[in-house]
Amino acid sequence: MLATPVILIVSFAYLGLLFAIAHYGDRRAAAGRSVIASPYVYALSLAVYATSWTFYGSVGRAAHTGIGFLPIYLGPTLMFALGLLVLRKIIRISKANRITSIADFVASRYGKSALLGGLVTVIAVIGIVPYISLQLKAISDTFSIVQHHPDLISPADLESASLFADKAFYVALLLAAFTIAFGTRMLDVSERHEGLVAAIAFESIVKLVAFLCVGLFVTFGIFGGFGDLFERAAALPGSGHLFVAGEEGTGYGELLWLTVLSMLAILLLPRQFQIAVVENVDERHLSRAVWLFPLYLLAINLFVLPIALGGLVQLQGTGAQADYFVLALPMAEGQGALTLFAYLGGLSAATGMVIVETIALSTMVSNNLIVPVLLRRRAARLTEGRDPRRLILRIRRGTIVAVLLLGYAYFRAAGEATALVAIGLLSFAAVAQFAPAVLGGIFWKGGSRNGALAGLAAGFLVWLYTLLLPSFARSDWLPGSFLDDGPFGIALLRPEELFGLSGLDSISHGMFWSMLVNVGFYVGVSLFSRQDAVELGQAARFVDVFRQTPEGPRFWRGTATVAELEALLARFRGAQRARAAMAEYAPAGGGGGYDGAVAEPGLVNHVETVLAGSIGAVSARVMLATVVDEEPLGIDEVMSILDETSQVIAYSHQLERKSRELEAATAELQAANERLQELDRLKDDFISTVTHELRTPLTSMRAFSEILLDNPEQPADERERFLRILLEEIGRLTRLINQVLDLSKLESGRAEWEIEEVDLRKLVRDSVAATAQLFRERETQVDLRLPEAVPAVATDRDRVKQVMLNLLSNAAKFCEPGRGRVVVELSADGDALRVDVRDNGPGIRLEDQELIFEKFRQGGEDMTDRPPGTGLGLPISREIVTYLGGVLWVESAPGRGSTFSFKLPVARAPTVALRGEG
Amino acid sequence: MAFLGFLLFNYPLLSLFSTEGKVLGIPVLYAYLFSSWALLIALMALAMRRSG
C-alpha cells in the first residue's frame, strides 16, 4: 500500500515545501518585513531541540526505563527559568560582538584566541557527529519500516548492506545537498538566516502535530482512554519498574545528572546556540519564549508514555523495536495515512536538527578553524585576488558534506548496535564540556584563556576515554576486553569504572569525571595564569555587558584609511552592504570622514565587529591586521583603560551620592531657616503682645491716678473704689510679669525644681479646696472623684499644684454662672496617674485645640471677646507637665464642654532632682 | 524559580510520589511530574507578565 515511490514522493514534496517556506522567509527579510520577528516563531524555532531522538527515542527509553526520558525535557525548562539571567546575557553579548557561533563566543571571550576557537570547533564536531548519525539512522530505519508496510519488521532484521546499497549513505548525501541549498546558497555570508528559521519553526509544528495525532490515536483509538491503557500496561509482567523512580526504576542520581546535562545542552549545543542566540531577532522575544518553549516540550512529551506502554501491550512478541513504536502502532492497526504522517513528523524532526546543526558546525569550522589557518599562511589570497566569499562558501559546503559523511561513518561503526537515546546523550556530554568556559566566562572576569584551554582539553579527553571509546568497544570496533579488564589489563583504568568508581551508570560516571577535571583545570589554571591585554579587555566587555555603552571601552588603536576599511568590508559583504555598514557608524562629531582620511579608532572597531559577523571574531581580527597598521596596546595601557572606565563609573556613583546628600542637607537647612523665621516672628509677636498686655493695666492705672490727683474733693467712698481698682490692676500687672518671668525660666531651663514624693490625692483635694471660693462665686458645682489609694509620685508639688489651679480656674471661668458643673477625677492609668478636669462650658473648636497652648492665645472668637486672664496659664502648665515627664492635652467639641487632662508617670526616675538649681 | 523546579523534579521530593497507585487512572509519578511541570510553566508565564 505504501509503495516506495509514494514514500519518496511524499518525502521530497515535504522537503520542497520547506524550501519554499525558507525562500519566502528570505524574500520577506530582504523586503524588510521579517516573518520571524515574533516570540512565537522564536519559541517554535527553539524546538529544533526536539529531534528524532525525541520523536522516536523517547518512546524507546520510556518503554525501557519509565521516567528516564523526562529529565531531558525538564532540564531545558529549568534553564529557561534561569533564562533572563544566563540566556539574556549571552544574547546581549553576542549581539554587541556579532558572535557567529559558540566557538566564536568562547574564542572572543578569551582574547579572540584562535587556538581556543579551534579547540571548541574540534570538540563540537567530534561530539556532534554521533548525534547526526542518530538522525541518519532514524531516517533510514523509518524509511525501511514504512517501506515494508504493512509487515512489521525490526531494523535489526535488515541485512547490513554494502556502502552503495545502504540507504543511510544516500540519506546522508541527500541531506548534505539539501543543507547546502538551505544554508549556503547565497553569496552573502552574514551570520543570520531568516528563511531557515521560518522553515525550522514550520518543522516544529509538523512534528508536534504528528506526534499528538499518533498519541491521541493510540490512547483513544486503540485503547479506551488513559485509564484503560495504564491498567492494561500495569497487568504486563515486569512492567512495575516503569511507574516508579529510585531503586527499581531510573536511579535518582541518573535523573539528577540527566537534568543537569540537558540544562547545559539547551544552551551549548551548536544548533541551540545558533537558533537561540545568533538568529534571535529581538531580545524581548525571550520573555515570551521562556514559557512557550517549555510548554512545547510538555506538549510533545504528553503522549510518550502512553505510546510506549501501548506498544508494549499491543506489539509484544512481534519483534518491533521500542524506538519505533510511533510508526509500528499505526501500522499494526492498518492506518496507512497516519503511518505516513508519523513518518513525516519524524523526518521533520531529523531534518530540522541536521540542517541547523551542520550549518552551525560549518560556520564554526570555516570561521574558527580554516579561515584563521589560511589567513596565517597566505593572507594575501583572501585580501587580494578573487572574491573571498566564494572561498568561504566552498569551505562551508565542504564542511557540511564532511560532517554528514562522518556521521554516516559513525553510524556504520557504532550506531547500529546502540539505542537512539544513548547516542544522543554522548553528544550532550561532549557539549557540556563548554559549560565552565562559557558560564565562567560571562560571570567571572578572572577566567583566563589558559584556564579555558586546559579545562576544555582535559574534559574532552576524559569524555573521549570514558564515553566515546566505550561506545566503539560495544560495537566490537575495539576489543571488548578494553571495557572489562581496562587497557593493557589495568583494572584501575577501566573506562566505565575509572579508578574503581562504580555504581554509576556510564553517563553519570563520564559526566562526573569530565566535569571534575574540566572545572578543576579551568579554575585552577585561571587563578595561576596572567591574562594578556586583549583578554582583559574582552573579559570586561563580556562580564560587564549590561553596564556599558554599546561601543564599550576600546582596547585597540591603529591607523588605516577609510577607503581601505570599506574595500576590506566590501570583499566580504558586497559593495552595497559595505557602504551601508560604513554609514551606520556615525560618531558624535559627524560622519566617518572621507576616503583618504585616516579612520578613527571607533570606526576601525565598528568595521571589525561587522566583519566578525561574517567570518568570526578571530578571523576578523587577523583580516583587519592586514590593512591596519596596528600598535598593540600594552597590558598597562589596557589596565589603565579598564581602571579609567571603572573609576569613571565609581566617580559618577560617588557624585550621585554626594549630590543626593547635598540635596538632603539643603532641604534640612531650608527647614531650619523656616523654623528660625517662625521663631523670630513668634518672638516679635510675643514682645508686642506682652507690651500690649502691660499697657492696658498701666493705662487704666494712670487714668485713675490722674482722676484721684485732679479731684482731691471726691467723696471718700468714690476714692476708695478707684484705689481698689488701682490695686487690682497692679495685682494683674504683677501676675503677668511673674508669669512671663516664670515662662521664660521654664523655657530656658533655669527654673528651680523640688522633686519629692507627692500624694496626688491630697494635692488634688487641696487644689479644689483652694478654688472653692471661686466656684461658689460663679455658682458652679464641683464634683471630686478620687480613688481609694494611689501610688506616690516623685514630682514637684508646687508646680503640679500650679497646673491644677490653672486648670480649675479656667474651668470656673468658662462655665456659665448658675448652671456650671465641673468634674475633677484622679485615676491610675497604666504606669501613670491621670487627672481630668471636665467642665460643661462652651467647648473649643477642633482647630483651636492646639492654639490655646500657645502664648497669649486664648479661647474665644477674637480679641474683643477675650476672657479674663493673661493667656499664659496653659502654655506654662504644659511646660511644667512636659518637664515632669507627663503630657497635657485637651478633648473638646463646641457645645459639649471640655476636658483638660494630664498624666504624670509613677515610676519616674528623679533626674530632675539631679539638675538641682542649674 | 529554577531552584523550585530543581527541587520538584529531583530526589527527595520525587521519591514521595514514586509509588504504585493511580490518580484518575494515571500513575501517581507521572501525574505528579506533569502537573508540577505545568505549574512551573504557568508560574514562569505569570512572572514574565508581571515584569512586563
Residues of B in contact with A70 (CB under 8 A): 33
Q: Write down the pLDDT at residue A915.
A: 40
Q: Are residues A731 and A768 in the same domain?
A: no
Contacts of A566 (CB under 8 A, 6+ apart): A578, A579, A582, A595
How many CB atoms lie under 10 A from the CB of residue A420? 28
Give the model's pLDDT for residue A71: 83
Note whether A732 and A782 are same-domain residues: no
How is A627-639 classified by DSSP, letter by letter?
A: HSEE-PPPHHHHH
Instruction: Give the Å distances, CA to CA, from B30 to A219, A248, B21, B27.
Output: 16, 16, 11, 6
- Measured in angstroms, the CA of B2 and the nearest CA of chain A are apart by 5
Helix (H, G, I), strand (E, B) or coil at A52: helix
- Looking at the fold, whether A619 and A675 belong to one and the same domain comes out as no
Evaluate whether residue A777 is within a structural domain. Answer: yes
- Contact partners, residue A516, CB within 8 Å, separation at least 6: none
Ordered DSSP codes for A308-323: HHHHHHHSTTTT--GG
- Grid coordinates belonging to A874: 496653659
Question: How far apart (Å, rounded) are the C-alpha atoms in residues A671 and A687?
Answer: 24
**Using an 8 Å Cβ cutoff, are A531 and A449 in contact?**
yes
- Whole-number Å distance between alpha carbons of A367 and A114: 10
| Interatomic CA distance for residues A110 and A106, integer angstroms | 6
User: Considering A618, A633, A648, which residue would you say is the last residue of a domain?
Assistant: A633
Cβ separation of B41 and A77 shorter than 8 Å? yes
In terms of Cα–Cα distance, which of A83, A757, A729, A565 is closest to B41?
A: A83
For residue A689, give the nearest of A863, A814, A845 by alpha carbon: A863
Tell which of A417, A447, A477 closes a domain.
A447
Q: Give the containing element (helix H, strand E) for A121.
A: helix A114-147
Minimum distance, in Å, between the CA of residue A59 and any CA atom of chain B:
15
Give, as one character, the DSSP assignment of residue A871: S
* Maximum C-alpha span of chain A: 158
CATH code at A682?
Answer: 1.10.287.130
Residue type, A437: A
Q: Is residue A464 part of a domain?
A: no
Same domain? For A757 and A800 the reply is yes
Domain match, A643 and A709 both? yes
- The structural domain count of chain A equals 4
Spell out a b/e string for A824-852, using b for 16 or more CB atoms within 10 Å of the CB, else e: bbbeeeeebbbbbbbbbbbbbeeebbeeb
Disruptive mutation site among B15, B24, B32, B44 for chain A (greatest number of A CBs within 10 Å):
B44
CA distance B19 to chain A (A): 6
Interchain CB distance below 8 Å, A246 and B15: yes
Q: What pLDDT score does A671 carry?
A: 92
The enclosing domain of A788 has a CATH number of 3.30.565.10
ipTM of the complex: 0.87
Whole-number Å distance between alpha carbons of A482 and A479: 6
Peptide bond into B12 cis (omega under 30): yes
Q: Are residues A767 and A827 in the same domain?
A: yes
Q: Select from A82, A236, A244 the residue whose CB has the most chain B CBs within 10 Å, as the one to mutate to test that interface.
A: A244
CA distance A215 to A326: 8
- Tell me if A536 is assigned to some domain: no
- Cα dihedral A771, A777, A783, A786, rounded to 10, equals 10
* Distance from chain centroid for Cα A473: 46
Interface residue of A252, A262, A286 to substitute, partner B, most B CBs within 10 Å:
A252
- The predicted structure's pLDDT at residue A636: 59
Residue A389 amino acid letter: R
Both A138 and A236 in a single domain? Answer: yes
How big is the CA angle at A309 (ends A307 and A315), to the nearest 5 degrees? 90
Contacts of A246 in chain B (CB under 8 A): 11, 15, 18
Report the candidate in A391, A364, A369, A393 with the shortest Cα–Cα distance to residue A380. Answer: A391
Closest CA to A178 of A379, A325, A29, A351: A351
- pLDDT for A855: 72
Contacts of A228 in chain B (CB under 8 A): 25
The domain that contains A309 carries what CATH number?
1.20.1730.10
From A212's Cα to the closest Cα of chain B, the distance in A is 16
A619 with A727, same domain? no
Q: What residue ranges of chain A have pLDDT lower than 50?
A: 1, 159, 550-553, 588-592, 859-866, 908-918
Residue type, A69: F
Measured distance CA(A302)–CA(B37) in Å, rounded: 11
Q: What is the pLDDT of residue A902?
A: 92
Among left, alpha and beta (phi > 0; psi -120 to 50; other), residue A488 is left
CA A93 to chain centre: 16
Kindly give, in sequence order, each residue whose CB lies less than 8 Å from that of residue A767, ignoring residues fewer than 6 positions away.
A801, A804, A805, A808
Alpha-carbon dihedral sign for residues A748, A750, A756, A761: negative
The alpha-carbon gap from A430 to the nearest alpha carbon of chain B, in Å, equals: 23
Whether residues A422 and A282 fall in one domain:
yes
Residues A88 and A138 in one domain: yes
Taking only residues 218 to 237 of chain A, the set having a beta carbon closer than 8 angstroms to any beta carbon of chain B reads 225-228, 230-231, 234
By the 10 Å C-beta count (0-12 exposed, 13-18 middle, 19+ buried), A778 is classed as: middle
Is beta strand A821-829 parallel, antiparallel or unpaired with respect to A781-785?
parallel
Residue A800 inside a domain? The answer is yes
Q: Rounded to an integer, what distance in angstroms lies between the CA atom of residue A311 and that of residue A913?
A: 97
Sequence-distant (≥ 6) Cβ neighbours of residue A850 within 8 angstroms: none
Straight-line distance from the first to the last Cα atom of chain A, in angstroms, rounded to the nearest whole number: 117
Contact (CB<8Å) B9/A79: no
Q: Which residues of B touch A302 (CB under 8 A)?
A: 34
How many CA atoms, within 13 angstroms, populate the side-chain half-sphere of residue A888?
A: 22
Cα separation, B33 vs B41, whole angstroms: 12
For residue A822, what is the enclosing H or E element? Answer: strand A821-829
Residues A680 and A762 in one domain: no
CB atoms < 10 A from the CB of B15, how many? 15
3-state DSSP assignment of residue A899 = strand
Match 553569496 to its residue by C-alpha cell. A187
A451 grid coordinates: 584556564
Burial class (CB in 10 A: 0-12, 13-18, 19+), B1: middle
A894 part of a folded domain: yes
Q: Considering A714, A745, A776, which residue would you say is the last residue of a domain?
A: A745
Q: What is the pTM of this model?
A: 0.65
Q: Considering the domain boundaries, does residue A525 fall inside one? A: no
Q: Is B16 on the interface with A (CB under 8 A)?
A: no
pLDDT the model gives residue A916: 38
CB contact (8 A) between residue A291 and residue B30? no
* Host domain of residue A667: 638-745
**Eight-state DSSP code of residue B23:** E
The residue type at A346: G
CB spacing of B41 vs A243 below 8 angstroms: no
Give the pairing of strands A755-758 and A793-796: antiparallel
Rounded to a whole number of angstroms, the distance between the first and last alpha carbons of chain B is 17
A737 and A885 part of one domain: no
